[in-house]
Amino acid sequence: MTARPQFHMTTSEVLYDRAKRVLPGGVSRNTVLRSPHPLYVEHAEGCRVTDIEGVERIDFANNMASLIHGHAHPMVTDAVAAQLRKGTGFTLATEVEVRYAEHLVDRSASFEKVRFVNSGTEAVMAALKAARAYTGRAKIAKVEGAYHGAYDYAEVSQTSTPANWGKDDSPVSVPVAYGTPPKALEDVVVIPFNDPAKARSILDRHRGEVACVLIDPLPHRVGLLPATSPFVQMLRDWTTRHDALLVFDEVITFRSEYGGAQEWYDVRPDVTAMGKIIGGGFPVGALAGRSEVMDVMNPLASDVRFPHSGTFSANPVTMTAGLTAMELFDRPAVHRVNALAERARNGIEEAIAESGVAACVSGGGSMLRLHMKPELPTNYREAFSSPEEKRRLGIMLDHLFDSGFIMINTCSLTTSTVMGEAEVDGLVEAMRDGFRKIARL
């Protein structure tokens, strides 16, 4: 029997009570967990989200960086509504997937062919499997601390701690989930971020065995620090020399430039994994790259090296939403969201200097991240927060939330095309207050 809710409980408290009975921890994704309970959305429009208690907040989290035009953009909503009336998924192809693939291929010089999937996790998984199928090798290399979704291999060392990460010239392959197959750990080579010499020497120990090096050019969990050109160039040279592939994870960073953050470098990846904004608000993933590599999935080949399918892949709802959103996200729009993030960064840095709090800001494109550290970290180990830094970040996050601003839970933000300088300046002011509060601790 359901316990009778007490009269003083809020609607959210009652809902969370029910949720805990049927969902582990009361949530379907850990990122929405808040103390004492998650907030439940009533509706959202543009950059504003209203919860079921009637409180409106400005959204700088954008569903974990996946919304580039905020919520319920009328052009996306109208296009999707029209498609919904025509059907949502068929055991047949649709024109819109062809149009969308053509659009993406036009956005980046490294894209020749595209395959759509349903999430960033799936895009990274398919990219790694394509690399293995192409090279005939099992191992993959990745950066310590980098988040690439939930595939066993891609998640290795994502949550390493000082207690288990080992020496920095030979980082340990640390599992995320209990029961991860030891073979998966053995098949992942972990390299330090932005340290070409150490990374090359680790990779050299596995030459001839590595199918690909996987790199996020602005890895959020590593500290939201841009990969340096020498590091990316070294990875390109090393992979070319040793017949391995270079895979970019642009699930988040595709929002950084018209053709993704890869525009920052003089190198081209062989394959790029995407997700988030390219779904126009709907679940999505995609991998794109050189025809020769992508053709490991070609079902017309006499020997299909990587058979690949997915019931909801390229469903016309996601394709319609994604194509509409990305056509709207043209070069001027990219420039605008990046300029807003730059304005936020300048304002926050000024507020930090005024307050005297030990804090700094990292980021690039339309994202930034606050660190409660006196100086910018350079890699995952330096970005790792001490308990006191975590406590201070928590105070700032709660302060911002109470002041009406939703951030990503690492105290990172993403801008969108439906916000302007007023929203950014409002956030900066709230942060200024937050730093004052922290300075008084």
Closer CB to ligand PLP, residue 64 or residue 352? 64
H helix intervals, 70-211:
74-86, 95-107, 120-135, 182-186, 196-204
Among 119, 256, 272, 416, which residue sits at the site for ligand PLP (rule: CB under 6 A)?
Answer: 119
Exposure of 42 in the CB half-sphere (CA atoms within 13 A): 10
Q: Give the closest residue to 144 by CA, choosing from 92, 55, 45, 216.
A: 216
Binding of ligand PLP by 275 (CB under 6 A): yes
Using CB under 6 A as the binding rule, whether residue 142 contacts ligand PLP is answered as no
Q: Is 147 a catalytic residue?
A: yes
What is the C-alpha end-to-end distance of the chain, expressed in Å?
Answer: 46
Applying the rule CB under 6 A, the residues between 243 and 262 that interact with ligand PLP are 249, 251-252
**Count of all residues that appear for the chain in the document:** 441
- Identify whether the C-beta of residue 228 lies closer than 8 Å to the C-beta of residue 364: no
Q: Which pair of tokens denotes residue 440? A: 């008084």
Residue closest to ligand PLP when measured from CB atoms: 120
- Is 20 among the residues known to form the active site? no
Token pair recorded at residue 154? 């891609």
Alpha carbon distance 167, 189 (integer Å): 14
Q: Which of 113, 129, 276, 373 is catalytic?
A: 276
Pick between residue 228 and residue 403 the one whose CB is nearest to ligand PLP: 228
**Does residue 216 belong to the site contacting ligand PLP (CB under 6 A)?**
yes
Catalytic residue among 100, 147, 153, 380: 147
Burial of 155 (0-12, 13-18, 19+ CB in 10 A): buried
**212 contacts ligand PLP (rule: CB under 6 A):** no
Is residue 121 close enough to count as binding ligand PLP by CB under 6 A? yes
Cβ of residue 331: shortest distance to ligand PLP, in angstroms?
23
Distance between CA 4 and CA 26 in Å, rounded? 18
Binding mask 59-88 for ligand PLP (x = CB under 6 A): -----x------------------------
Query: Which of 149, 259, 280, 316 touches ligand PLP (CB under 6 A)?
Result: 149
DSSP tag of 336: H
Task: Give 150 or 185: the residue with its C-beta nearer to ligand PLP.
Answer: 150
Q: Which is nearer to ligand PLP, 124 or 244 (CB)?
A: 124
> Tokens standing for 206?
């596995």
- 337 forms part of the interface with ligand PLP (CB under 6 A): no
* Position 144 contacts ligand PLP (CB under 6 A): no
Rounded Cα gap, residues 40 and 415, in angstroms = 22
Which tokens in the block code for residue 231? Answer: 């590091």
126 vs 438 by CB, closer to ligand PLP: 126
Binding site for ligand PLP (CB under 6 A): 64, 119-121, 124, 147-149, 216, 220, 249, 251-252, 275
Catalytic residue numbers read 147, 249, 276
